[in-house]
Structure 1
Amino acid sequence: MLENCSVLPHNMYTSKQIQEAENQFVSSGTSSVIDLIESAGAAAFMKVQSIFPAPCHILVIAGYGNNGADAFSCARRLLEASYSVALVAIEPESNLSKTRPELNEVRQQFIDAGGEVLSFCGALPIDAKVIVDGLLGTGITRELRDGIKQLVQLVNDSPAWVLSLDVPSGLNPDTGSGLTTIKADMTLTFGGLKRGLLTGHARHCCGELALAELGLSEFLPKTDFSRVSLSYINDRLAPRDRDTHKGLSGKVTVIGGDVGMSGAVRLAGEACLRSGAGLVTVISRPEHQHTVNANRPELMFWGCELVDMEVYLRLGWAHTLVIGPGLGKQTWGYNLLKAVGLSDKPCVIDADALNLLSEEHTRCDGRVLTPHSGEAARLLGVSIAEVERDRFAAVRDIQQKYGGVVVLKGPGTLIYDGKHYYVAPVGNPGLASGGCGDVLSGIIGALMSQGFSILDSAVMGVVVHGEAADRAAVAGERGMLASDLMPHIRSLVNNL
């Protein structure tokens, strides 16, 4: 999880919602546009000063919108505090600055304080210790022009510590996507937490995320977007009753593991147990029993060559079904998915079960789908690039097409139930390893079997999985295995 996420609010907004709140704030007579700019500039100055209290060389890059005005305001304060400041201003393609009197005002104040406004000439003017990025704000709607691209690349190549104002320049604040973006060490966003800053490419380029509310809180609307954290788990997972027994602790049947893929279903089964399920049965190829039970005898096993009455009995026995890990896309896996489809039990559909589902297009509300971007692309019949261009749209479209709760895995996993979006800024690149997705499906299935709703199970499962990965990554992200998550999962579901 992001280091400072616990201090951020849970509500998230679109850039349009925040802009409308700014307009209402100004219209109320409480403040003016220049007051907002000065508040943002002051917040940025205090953030720089708190991290670099001794005056040093600072490069400020200012665009021609309100983001640039914030940068001018910050730069003036840095000058007044005896920092050595160089400011590079990017001019608009047309003379838009004539329509922005506030920008002209703070620009003149910077000059009056002894500052000099430089033009970009293909190189950074100083060897700065800090770069303040006020180049582009939330209004980015197209790919950057060549000159700005060059400047962005120079900033990214610099060893300087980078603070981006509102959003890293080039990043879409509503989707978290961007082809050419500044990679910041910290992003100080203004007004409210923008929904795109915690998912997709934003996880790579925002760095540490901080918020300056600027007095807008009371003007922000009700929102359908929420950031979720460990508190979501801790608020829901109470200690077990002292008189409980295994039959009351959740029964899960995990289905998968075609020839050569026994590990996937084994990992999903153990994740169920470590997440608190009382009883777990694995249905897999008969030859996989040794692999499944060799060092996890707590898992029950049923070898399946054909879908017969015994299989249906084991589906009926469970409170929850998990299908997909190592399932394959052959007739064996297809028939098992069909059998699960005939059941009335809530289920988790993952991995190859999702790939088979993409050919069926069936809709059901009693299930959780857990695609990564490749599986999401197949479910929607689009490219992976289209999914990553707008992850919020992708998770919405999958839910509308297939029903249930959809978990779109990736950096800043999204969960959507048809009404509300949840963003989970947990996990790390160590999860880019075989079997980690199988562990997630097992966690969600176990929580569902313990009586939690499919939405709560999906959200809690994602947070447990990602937080476990963050704890496991203390020993390093490279080489982290799916099985390394297991002891941390146990701690998390016990609120330890």
Structure 2
Amino acid sequence: MKTVVTGREMKAIDTYTIQTLGIPSLVLMERAALSMVCRMKEKIHKSDKILCLCGAGNNGGDAVAVARILFGQGYPAAVYMAGDPEKWTEETKKQIQIARNVGVSEYNELDLTHVRVVVDGLFGIGLSKNVREPFHTLIEAVNEWRAKKPERSVWAVDVPSGLSSDTGQALGCALRADYTVTFGYMKRGMILYPGREIAGKCYVEDIGFPEKSLAVHPAAGFTCDVQDFEQLPERKNDSNKGTYGKILIIAGSKNMSGAAYFSGRVAYSTGAGLVRILTPEANRVILQSQLPQAMISVWEEMDESQWTDILSWADALVIGPGVGTQTVMAERLRKALTESRCPVIMDADGLNLLAQHEEWYPMLAGRAVLTPHMGEMSRLTGKSIGELKADRAEAAADFAEKHGVICVLKDSSTVVSDGKKLYFNQTGNHGMSTGGSGDVLAGIIGALAGAGATLFEAAYMGVFLHGSAGDAAANRFGARGMTSVEIIEGLWEVLKRPD
């Protein structure tokens, strides 16, 4: 897992490193500039005219140092000091003096004539208010310059100017980067949309923040990469079908068998030992034909003893895909929550019914994963989609803490929270915006929970797997026109790795 920080968390780590551990700010600044130059040299040419836009803060000092190092290596790099000299930090003053001493050109006015590469060092992670003039006009001018010719590029220092490092929202306006070189740890705002697009390709560079700094000032956020597949529940040769979880899926309604199929099929693909689908009689033959390995139970044949047996049988319960919101279904789900004791994954119509029955929350506390998309989250919280998107992380964490559940807030940049920790997903693509994709995710999480993962692990690893499967499917089939069938096939590719 890799740490993801807010601006405040990063500032605390930076301050502790400098003031308590004694690593000078100028040392960190030099390391930052050197790491950025190394990344830039992978993409730029020796003849490219480079202009570094420098604000008054230490972000501007970083950009001055970038210009000086590039200049020293034979690149035509210059600086434009956009910040008020009265507000220059001591480190920035020092960097400007060094740059002047070695002969780096300094512009008094913005001139992008013949410039091929812009380095954005106007604002850093400390920006919390909307960009004001003259910076608003400056940023828009650079954005317009960049858009005119595809060979032009913008490199952002640590975070694109105007982008909230916490929420991914533009603070009035934001300078759109092709590449962002960020220092120490990934910032939340460069994972969350629209920040992910504004930041372009991101590089996270280690500039020497000791592990002790993070230990003293821990961050709530993290993300996963391919090494984290090792967290999946272990499989052993000395095992049987009961070893890997018995998953009960309450899904489907008349003419809506697909949701039950996708959840059940992917639960098996994720590694579940046994899957039972509880659905209307109308779906029995369809599901027995599509998924013969699953056990099919139907509502029309359920009596009290069967109901008790089926709930006690399950190691994990997936509720909601395609069940509808009729009164009879609300009563069935209430009974399932009342009488079951296993982990619950609630999705789709289960969430829509929950929005109508807030008295269910005490039965979910401490044992449930809720997987709302933005529309469902709006119904659950009473907040508008715009309010939720303004700060996805806060919305997920507040909801999880309030109700004692794990919240998987699904969106273009999904966030998972248990009320304290936050997982920020970086996998997935637009091809996954297709019917049944959420049913697939619910089945994956249910299978992981049934196999013994903690609920939080099942939730964030499920999201990570789901997105990775979508990426594998896009690579194989193309994102346009992808269906949930291809996502499941992508999961097979992802999980086809040596044990």
Matched residues in 2 for 1:239 and 1:318: separation? 19
Q: Deviations over 1:15-59 (max 9, x none)?
A: 223222322333258443333333322222222123325331223
Matched residues in 2 for 1:431 and 1:236: separation? 22
1:251 to 226, 246, 252: 246
Distance 1:296 1:389, change over 3 A: same
Matched residues in 2 for 1:148 and 1:272: separation? 52
- Alpha-carbon distance, 1:359 to partner: 2.6
Matched residues in 1 for 2:95 and 2:244: separation? 63
- Alpha-carbon distance, 1:149 to partner: 4.8
Matched residues in 1 for 2:54 and 2:286: separation? 60
Task: Give TM-score scaled by structure 1 length.
Answer: 0.89
Correspondence list, 1:253-402, <5 A: 253-304=248-299, 308-309=303-304, 310-342=306-338, 343-361=340-358, 362-363=361-362, 364-402=365-403
Q: How many residues align structurally? A: 481
* 8 A Cα contact 1:87 1:118, kept in partner: no
Matched residues in 2 for 1:155 and 1:271: separation? 47
1:163 aligns with 2:155: yes
1:64 aligns with 2:56: yes
2:140 to 150, 163, 173: 150
Partner amino acid, structure 2, of 1:249? Y
CA RMSD of superposed structures (Å):
2.5
Matched residues in 2 for 1:442 and 1:171: separation? 36
Partner amino acid, structure 2, of 1:438? D
Task: Give TM-score scaled by structure 2 length.
Answer: 0.88
Distance 1:240 1:492, change over 3 A: farther
Residue 169 of structure 2 aligns to a residue whose secondary structure is coil
Matched residues in 2 for 1:483 and 1:182: separation? 39
- Alpha-carbon distance, 1:155 to partner: 5.3
* 8 A Cα contact 1:266 1:291, kept in partner: no
Distance 1:340 1:83, change over 3 A: same
Counterpart of 1:6?
none
1:110 aligns with 2:99: yes
1:85 aligns with 2:77: yes
Higher relative contact order (CA 8 A, sep 6+): 1
Q: Deviations over 1:358-401 (max 9, x none)?
A: 23231321111112222222222111122121122111111122
Of stretches 262-271 and 140-149 in structure 1, the one that deviates more from structure 2 is: 140-149
- Alpha-carbon distance, 1:266 to partner: 1.3
Counterpart of 1:488?
490
Matched residues in 2 for 1:136 and 1:254: separation? 50
1:448 aligns with 2:449: yes
Matched residues in 1 for 2:282 and 2:114: separation? 64
Partner amino acid, structure 1, of 2:141? L
Matched residues in 1 for 2:35 and 2:86: separation? 24
Residue 154 of structure 2 aligns to a residue whose secondary structure is strand
Partner amino acid, structure 1, of 2:489? P
2:109 to 109, 119, 123: 119
Counterpart of 2:202?
209
Correspondence list, 1:402-481, <5 A: 402-474=403-475, 475-481=477-483
Counterpart of 1:3?
none
Residue 264 of structure 2 aligns to a residue whose secondary structure is helix
Q: Deviations over 1:279-322 (max 9, x none)?
A: 21222222223432333222222232597434454333322110
- Alpha-carbon distance, 1:190 to partner: 1.7
Residue 202 of structure 2 aligns to a residue whose secondary structure is strand
Residue 489 of structure 1 aligns to a residue whose secondary structure is helix
Q: Percent identity between the aligned chains? A: 32
Residue 456 of structure 2 aligns to a residue whose secondary structure is helix
| Structure 2, unpaired ranges of 5+ | none
Of stretches 175-184 and 338-347 in structure 1, the one that deviates more from structure 2 is: 175-184
Matched residues in 1 for 2:27 and 2:37: separation? 15
